[in-house]
Amino acid sequence: MKRWLARFDAACGWINPGLVVAAFVLAVLDVAAAGQRWAVAHPRAAVSAKAVTVAAKNDIKNDIKSEQCAPALPPELRDMIGRD
């Protein structure tokens, strides 16, 4: 039994570095594949973006309309809630 365990221990000693090398190769391939997917998903823009400024009018009528919001539901529909 001791002889078998010694052989098994020696074999595992040789297998572990091989598994480490295989894991390293797979990690490098994974990083390379992720880099390719990143390049495809995020292409470089051909045209640079330009900043656009919009001048707002300072009318009293526009300010009043923006402060008064319509209700989320009309009263007819609000009364029908729960009557399915």
Evaluate whether residue 15 is within a structural domain: yes
Number of domain units in the chain: 1
56 in helix, strand or coil? coil
Evaluate whether residue 75 is within a structural domain: no
Query: What is the Cα–Cα distance from 40 to 84, expressed in whole angstroms?
Result: 50
- Which pTM does this prediction carry? 0.40
Range of the domain at 10: 2-64
20 in helix, strand or coil? helix
Per-residue pLDDT of the chain in tens (84 residues, 90 and over written 9): 788 888 888 888 888 888 999 999 999 999 999 888 877 766 666 666 677 776 665 555 555 555 666 667 777 887 787 776
Evaluate whether residue 16 is within a structural domain: yes
Evaluate whether residue 44 is within a structural domain: yes
Evaluate whether residue 82 is within a structural domain: no
Evaluate whether residue 69 is within a structural domain: no
Q: What is the pLDDT of residue 9?
A: 87
Q: Distance from CA of residue 31 to its chain's centroid?
A: 17
- Decide: residue 70, CB within 10 A, 0-12 exposed, 13-18 middle, 19+ buried: exposed
